[in-house]
C-alpha cells in the first residue's frame, strides 16, 4: 500500500453529510468521503446504489441537497462542471463523449485549441496529443479519425483529453466496462502512475478483483447510504460483494410452491447476437420463472431482443421442439412469445395516446370486424384489463403518459397478455416503480406462471430475482457464465458470478 494512511496530512477533498433527493426519492443520504493525495479510493455498490449521483455531485454536475464539500479545508460549492475542473477535479465519463468525425488530436484539444496567431496550431496539438497518449502507454496516431478507433482506444483518447486539464483529483466512472482484460491492465497501470504523482483518484467499478488490485481504500454504498469504508488491504472481493448486497428483504414476494420439473417449452442453443451476446444456451420449462441476472451492459436485454427478432441473431431456437426463426416481433408474438421492453416509455407504450389504443395495439386483429375496428369491444377489453391488472386511473380516457410508472407497467403487461402468450419475457419489470406496485407486479408474474405460462425475468435487482425466480442464469460480458438454483440462490453467489470473482460451471 502507498503512503495514504489515515494520518496523512490534509485531504484534497472532504465531503460530509452529502445527501441528494429527487422529488420524494432520497438517492443519497449522509455520505462522508475523503480523497487524499496519492490515494486510489474505490466506490462500489449495486446498480442504483447512488454511485453515479455521488460522482456527479463531486464533479459539479449536480448540487447536493444537503451536506458540504471541502477542498484543502475550505468549504466549496461548484457552480458547474467547469468550476469543478478549474479547482482540479476532472471526471472520466463511463460513456465515450468524443466527436466521432474529428481526429484524435482535435478531440483532445476540443474547446481549448492551441493557436499560433489567428491560426490553429495543428502541429503543436498533434505533438501534445501524441505525448499525452504516450504517457498513458497508448500508441494511437493523433491524426486518426476517432470513429475508426476501437472502443478501448477511444477510452484512452478520452482519458488523455481529461488529463490535459491541470488536475488534482481524477474520478473514473467504470472506466473498464468496455475494455478487454489486456486493456484493463494497461489502464490500471496508468492509474497507478497518476497516483504516484500525488493525484487523488476516485475509482468506480463493478469489477471487484480489479478494485482489490488498484484501490487503497474501498467505500461501499447501498441504497444511497454508505455502509462501509475500509482499507482495501482489509477486504477480499468476496467481502466486498457481501457488503454490497447484504440487506434484509421484507415480505415483498409471493409464495411459490416449487413445482416439479415439467416439459421444456423453449430451447435456445448457441444463440449469438452480434456485438452483444455470444453462444447463449438455455432452456425454459413450462410454468417456470427463469431469471437473468448480470450487470448493466452484460447483454441480457440484447439477448432477449435477439431471441424475439428485434435484433439480428444466429443460433438455434426450438419452441415446443419445433425449430423457429423469428425475423420480427410479429412472428414471435404470433408464436406465443411476448417481450416487455425495459424501456416502457420509449418502446412499450404510446404515451400520447389513450389507454384503449395502447391496450389493443399488438392484438388489433382480434378487434377487427369485417373491416373496421370494433371500438366497443376495445372499450370492454380495457375495462377488463383495468380490473384484472388493477390499473389505477381516475378516468379511462386519459393518455398513457399520464399514468404513474407502476400503472404504465401494468398496462404494458395487460397489452402483451392480450394475445395470450405462452412465454412472457419481462425486462426490468419493476424499474422506477414504487413498492406497492412492485408487490402487485410480482403477484401477476407468479399468477402467470401458475396459469402454466413460462416467464423470463431480466433484472438488475438481485433481491427481486431471488424472490420470484425458480432458477437464475447469470450473464457477464455477453455470455451466460453460470446458473444458480435452490439454496445457492443468494446475492453473494450472483454478484460473484456477475463480477467475475467466481466463474460458474456453465461454459
Partner 1 sequence: MSSVATEPTKAPKTSKDWDMAAIAPFIALALLLVLGYFANPNFVSVANILNVITRSAFIAIIALGATYVISSGGLDLSVGSMVAFVASLMILFLNSGTIADPMLLLITGMLLTIALGAACGLANGLITTIGRIEPFIATLGTMGIYRGLTTWLSQGGAITLRDRELQALYRPVYFGSVAGVPVPIVIIFVTAAIAAFVLYRTRYGRHVIAVGSNEDVARYSGISVNKVRTVAYVIQGLCVAVAVLLYVPRLGSTSATTGILWELQAITAVVVGGTALRGGVGRIWGTVCGAFILEIVGNIMLLSNFVSEYLIGAIQGAIIIIAMLVQRSLMRK
Phi-psi region of 445 (alpha: psi -120 to 50; beta: other; left: phi over 0): alpha
Closest CA to 127 of 97, 104, 149, 150: 104
Nearer to partner 1, 168 or 347 (CB): 347
Nearer to partner 1, 226 or 349 (CB): 349
- Minimum Å gap between C-beta 136 and partner 1 is 38
Q: Report the alpha-carbon angle 290-387-427, nearest 5.
A: 25
Q: Report the alpha-carbon angle 173-148-171, nearest 5.
A: 15
Give the 3-state secondary structure of residue 16: strand
Taken in order 53, 57, 63, 66, the sign of the CA dihedral is positive
- Minimum Å gap between C-beta 281 and partner 1 is 25
Interface residues with partner 1 (CB under 8 A)? 310, 328-330, 332-334, 339, 341, 343, 346-354, 357, 361-362, 364-365, 368, 371-373, 390, 392-394, 397-399, 401-407, 415, 434-437, 439-440
Nearer to partner 1, 28 or 333 (CB): 333
- Minimum Å gap between C-beta 354 and partner 1 is 8
CA pair distance 236, 233, nearest whole angstrom: 8
Q: Tell me whether strands 169-173 and 200-204 are parallel, antiparallel or unpaired.
A: parallel
Nearer to partner 1, 97 or 350 (CB): 350
CA 143 to chain centroid, in Å, comes to 34
- Minimum Å gap between C-beta 331 and partner 1 is 8
Give the 3-state secondary structure of residue 108: helix
Nearer to partner 1, 410 or 476 (CB): 410
- Minimum Å gap between C-beta 250 and partner 1 is 13
> Could you tell me if 43 and 238 are in contact, meaning their C-beta atoms sit under 8 angstroms apart?
no
Residue-wise DSSP of 381-438: HHHHHHHHTT---S-SSSBGGGS-HHHHHHHHHHHHHTT--SEEEEESTTTT--HHHH
- Minimum Å gap between C-beta 398 and partner 1 is 6
Nearer to partner 1, 192 or 392 (CB): 392
How many C-beta atoms lie closer than 10 Å to residue 25's C-beta?
10
Nearer to partner 1, 392 or 431 (CB): 392
- Minimum Å gap between C-beta 171 and partner 1 is 33
CA pair distance 479, 276, nearest whole angstrom: 9
Nearer to partner 1, 123 or 334 (CB): 334
Give residues with Cβ within 8 angstroms of 372, minimum separation 6: none
Nearer to partner 1, 296 or 398 (CB): 398
| Radius of gyration for the chain, computed over Cα atoms and rounded to the nearest angstrom | 25
- Minimum Å gap between C-beta 329 and partner 1 is 4
- Minimum Å gap between C-beta 342 and partner 1 is 11
Amino acid at each position: 500500500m502507498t503512503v495514504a494512511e489515515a494520518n496523512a496530512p490534509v485531504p484534497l477533498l472532504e465531503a460530509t453529510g452529502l445527501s441528494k433527493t429527487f422529488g420524494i426519492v432520497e438517492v443519497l443520504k449522509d455520505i462522508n468521503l475523503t480523497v487524499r493525495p496519492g490515494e486510489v479510493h474505490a466506490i462500489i455498490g449495486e446498480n442504483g446504489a447512488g454511485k453515479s449521483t455521488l460522482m456527479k455531485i463531486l464533479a459539479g454536475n449536480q448540487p447536493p441537497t444537503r451536506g458540504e464539500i471541502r477542498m484543502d479545508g475550505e468549504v466549496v460549492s461548484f457552480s458547474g462542471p467547469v468550476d469543478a475542473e478549474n479547482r482540479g477535479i476532472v471526471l472520466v465519463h463511463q460513456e465515450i463523449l468524443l466527436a466521432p468525425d474529428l481526429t484524435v488530436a482535435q478531440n483532445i484539444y476540443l474547446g481549448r485549441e492551441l493557436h499560433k496567431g489567428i491560426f490553429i496550431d495543428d502541429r503543436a496539438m498533434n505533438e501534445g496529443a501524441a505525448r499525452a497518449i504516450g504517457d498513458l502507454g497508448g500508441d494511437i496516431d493523433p491524426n486518426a479519425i476517432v470513429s475508426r478507433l476501437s472502443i478501448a482506444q477511444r477510452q484512452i483518447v478520452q482519458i488523455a483529453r481529461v488529463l490535459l486539464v491541470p488536475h488534482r483529483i481524477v474520478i473514473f466512472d467504470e472506466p473498464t466496462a468496455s475494455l478487454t482484460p489486456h486493456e484493463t491492465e494497461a489502464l490500471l497501470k496508468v492509474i497507478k502512475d497518476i497516483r504516484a504523482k500525488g493525484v487523488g483518484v476516485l475509482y468506480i467499478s463493478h469489477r471487484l478483483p480489479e478494485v482489490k488490485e488498484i484501490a487503497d481504500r474501498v467505500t461501499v454504498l447501498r441504497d444511497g447510504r454508505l455502509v462501509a469504508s475500509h482499507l482495501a488491504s482489509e477486504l477480499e472481493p468476496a467481502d466486498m460483494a457481501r457488503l454490497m448486497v447484504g440487506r434484509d428483504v421484507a415480505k415483498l414476494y409471493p409464495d411459490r410452491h416449487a413445482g416439479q420439473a415439467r416439459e421444456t417449452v423453449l430451447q435456445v442453443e448457441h444463440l449469438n447476437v452480434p456485438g452483444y451476446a455470444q453462444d447463449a444456451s438455455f432452456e425454459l420449462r413450462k410454468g417456470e420463472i427463469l431469471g437473468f441476472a448480470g450487470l448493466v451492459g452484460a447483454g441480457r436485454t440484447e439477448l432477449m431482443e435477439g431471441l424475439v427478432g428485434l435484433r439480428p441473431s444466429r443460433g438455434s431456437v426450438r419452441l415446443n421442439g419445433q425449430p423457429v426463426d423469428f425475423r420480427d416481433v410479429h412472428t414471435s408474438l404470433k408464436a406465443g412469445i411476448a417481450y416487455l421492453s425495459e424501456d416502457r416509455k420509449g418502446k412499450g407504450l404510446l404515451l400520447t395516446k389513450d389507454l384503449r389504443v395502447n391496450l389493443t395495439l399488438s392484438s388489433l386483429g382480434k378487434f377487427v370486424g369485417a373491416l373496421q375496428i370494433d371500438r366497443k369491444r376495445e372499450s370492454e377489453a380495457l375495462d377488463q384489463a383495468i380490473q384484472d391488472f388493477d390499473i389505477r386511473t381516475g378516468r379511462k380516457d386519459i393518455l398513457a403518459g399520464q399514468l404513474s410508472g407502476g400503472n404504465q407497467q401494468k398496462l404494458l403487461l395487460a397489452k402483451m397478455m392480450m394475445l395470450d402468450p405462452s412465454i412472457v419475457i419481462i425486462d426490468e419489470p419493476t424499474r422506477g416503480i414504487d413498492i406497492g406496485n412492485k408487490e402487485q407486479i410480482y403477484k401477476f408474474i407468479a399468477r402467470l406462471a401458475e396459469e402454466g405460462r413460462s416467464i423470463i425475468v431480466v433484472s438488475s435487482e438481485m433481491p427481486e430475482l431471488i424472490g420470484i425466480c425458480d432458477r437464475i442464469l447469470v450473464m457477464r460480458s455477453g455470455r451466460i457464465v453460470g446458473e444458480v438454483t435452490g439454496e445457492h440462490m443468494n446475492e453473494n453467489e450472483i454478484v460473484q458470478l456477475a463480477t467475475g470473482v467466481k466463474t460458474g460451471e456453465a461454459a
